[in-house]
Structures are given as structure tokens and as C-alpha cells.
Amino acid sequence: MITPVLEEKKINPFEVAQEQLDEAAALLHLDPAVHEFLRWPMRELHVTLPVKMDDGITKIFHGFRVQYNDARGPTKGGIRFHPDETIDTVRALAAWMTWKTAVVDIPLGGGKGGIICNPKAMSPNELERLSRAYIRQVGRILGLEKDVPAPDVYTTPQIMAWMVDEFSFMQGYNEFGMITGKPLALGGSAGRGDATARGGIYCLREAGKALGLNLDGATTAIQGYGNAGTFGHKLGVELLGLKVVAVSDSKGGIYNEKGLDYDKVMTHKNRTGSVVGFPEADLITNEELLELNVTVLMPSALESVITATNADRIKAKVSVELANGPTTPDADKILYHNGVYVIPDFLCNAGGVTVSYFEMVQNAYGYYWDEPLVHERLDKKMTTAFHAVHLTAQEYEVHNRVAAYLVAVSRVAEAVRLRGWA
């Protein structure tokens, strides 16, 4: 078990992922060989990427692609561009993708990729050269029937477009389905842009019903104001009537007890690059935001922001984990003991991979759905998955993350056994 002392020093996200699996494996009485098999990636590729920068100097970048488990189908998972990327972060995210695709019951496995870089300090031309260099190295293990990447932190539909173009050139024919999150003009799916947040909002809606919690006007704080956080704000207000009182990004946070207008905050952020300095709010830190006395908390940034150090100070009734891995195992136990209802990450933010799967399906048979149909099918998938987890938590008398693992791991373990792997 990770102790609070270790948490304060440095948290290894892959060890967190393994610990979460171990807890579920014990409750499922999982065969030891299957358990050990599921603790590790099936394969991973490390690549070194020389890229000529705009000033003519060649810079060397390092990247990864992890294919964690493909027992249920081709692996699926995003590609991150981040200066603090590590192989253990990619391994953890690939593991969580394995459980994520299983908990929403789509026929895919889990993968993840990343490049150690600072995209904010790179020009569009440099980002294009880096994206193409990555596909030249990793493309040999990608494909619609092998492994299908997608956008993640600091990657965009445009980056996906460069990648699919490079892959198609290497193959000698178009294979738009080898990557998702693409622009609509290159086979993207309607409804993909807000899918991660929309899936989480559907889960929150169902949680409100299960808990008897009125969400109309419920105070909400959003930590992280990227794609998931911004759409969490927009859709939370539009679909559930939430009152968002605080939001934050990497530079800090803002708070207004009367509520923050989505359009005004976005206009300010687009103009200045941050929510900080928004004139109709007070400045707060990310740490203060997490501990606000609100009904709904949406951790929507990076891993391990709620730990044993601060979990006792979390006052929200519901934590909607739009980020991957925002809560450590020790913190989960504290939140559960304190009555905080956590909608765990690999259930809560599975809307993104679900609509990515819909994109793959549409690419495969060359027929595209309109946005209302995408929303309808996403709602059905997320609602079914939420109730499977909620009922499992009640049956086993465990918190929701363990319940989500029980649902997902049992499905992957069954596929492993049926294939005769262990």
C-alpha cells in the first residue's frame, strides 16, 4: 500500500493502477496467473525521434506506445504531448484504458502513447514534424485491427490529421479508422468534441437519481479547464442546471459564489490564455478549489491531485472524475469513509473512448451518424455502465472505483481465460 509519506514525495501512477487491480483481484478470487498477467502491459515500444526545429537545429525527442491488453479487441488509447511524460504514466493510462473499454462493454483493449515535449513552446510546423516522426516509428504496430490512437493531453484533431496522413502514406492507401478524434472532413465523428464531458454528465445525472440529489442549481467546482473541464462546465449547466462557482487551469483558479458564466470565462481564457484574471471572480489556488464546500467537484486535470494529504478536506458530495487517475488509493478510502460519492475516472470519462469506438465503426463501413444519434447511443452506453458499477458497489459493499474494477476486470479476465492465455 502507498503510504501518505510516500504520496507527499512522489506517486508512481502505474503502481497506483496495479494496487487498484490487486484489490479487485482479491475480491474476485482471480486465478493467480490471470492476476499476474493483468498487472503488466502485453507489449510496449520506446522510440527516439529526431526532429528539425524551425531554427534549423535537430532536437531529439523520446516517445512511447504501450499496448496493455488486447484480449477483448484491438487496443485503444490517446497520445499525449507533455513535458513530464513518463513510461510509468503511459503504462498506467494504458491499464486504465483496458478497464475503461471493458466497463462500458465495447470490444476493445487498452493502449496509450506519449512524447516527452513541451507543445506550448513549439510552432505548428514543429508539431507537425514531431507528429509525423512519431507515426513513422510507431506506425508499424498501429492499425484499425491492431491499435487505434486518439487525442489526449495537448494533442488535437489537427495532430490526428497529420498522423493519419503519415500512416496512410506509409500504407499506400487511406486508412482513416487507424486513429480517432479526427476532423469531420477526414472521417471524424459528430459528437466527439464534447464526448468525454458529456459521458461524465450523463453519469452525474444518474448518480443524482440514485442518491436522491437535486442537481438543479447544485454548486460545482471544476479543477482543470481544458477540453473535459470546459465542456463539463457548458454541459453541466445546459443539461443539469449546475451552478459552476469555481474553475481553474495550470496557472490558478477563480471563484464567484454567484456562479461563473461559461461564455464569459471562455472569452477571457481564449483572449489571455488562462482563467486567471477573470474580472468577475476572486483568485484562488487549485488546492483551495478542491476543498471548496460545493455539491459537485469535477477533477478534470492530471493524475493524483486528491491524495491522503488532502482527501479529509474534500467537502463535495459527488466527485465527477473527468481526469484520469485524479485520486490515489489511500484517498479513495478516506472519501468513501466520509461519504463522498466518487464516479471513478475510467467509468466517468469513458464517453471519449465510446464515441471514438463509434468513429471506428463509422470509418469501417463508410456511413456516418448525425449528432443526435451519437448522443443517444452514448447516453445508453454510459447509463448502462453506471448502473452496473453502482449495483456492484452495493452488492460487494465497496466504493465505486473497486466496483468499476470488479465489472471491468471480470470481463477482461473472462476473455483471457477463454482464449487460453492463462
76, 100, 112, 234: the catalytic one is: 112
Please check whether residue 219 is in contact with residue 296, taking contact to mean a CB–CB distance below 8 angstroms. Answer: yes
**251 carries an active-site annotation:** no
Three-state SS across the chain?
CCCHHHHHHCCCHHHHHHHHHHHHHHHHCCCHHHHHHHCCCCEEEEEEEEEECCCCCEEEEEEEEEEEECCCCCEEEEEEEECCCCHHHHHHHHHHHHHHHHHCCCCCEEEEEEEECCHHHCCHHHHHHHHHHHHHHHHHHCECCCEEEEECCCCCHHHHHHHHHHHHHHHCCCCHHHCCCCCHHHCCCCCCCCHHHHHHHHHHHHHHHHHCCCCCCCEEEEECCCHHHHHHHHHHHHHHCCEEEEEEECCEEEECCCCCCHHHHHHHHHHHCCCCCCCCCEEECHHHHHCCCCCEEEECCCCCCECCCCHHHCCCCEEECCCCCCECHHHHHHHHHCCCEEECHHHHCCHHHHHHHHHHHHHHHCCCCCHHHHHHHHHHHHHHHHHHHHHHHHHHCCCHHHHHHHHHHHHHHHHHHHCCCC
| Angstrom distances, CA of residue 311 to CA of 185, 222, 326 | 44, 16, 11
Locate cell 477571457: which residue?
268
d(Cα 396, Cα 54) in Å, to the nearest integer?
A: 57
Q: In sequence order, what are the beta bridge partners of 282? A: 255
Contact by Cβ (8 Å): 290, 258: no
Distances (CA, A) of 240 to 115, 344, 399: 37, 19, 24
Residues that are catalytic:
112
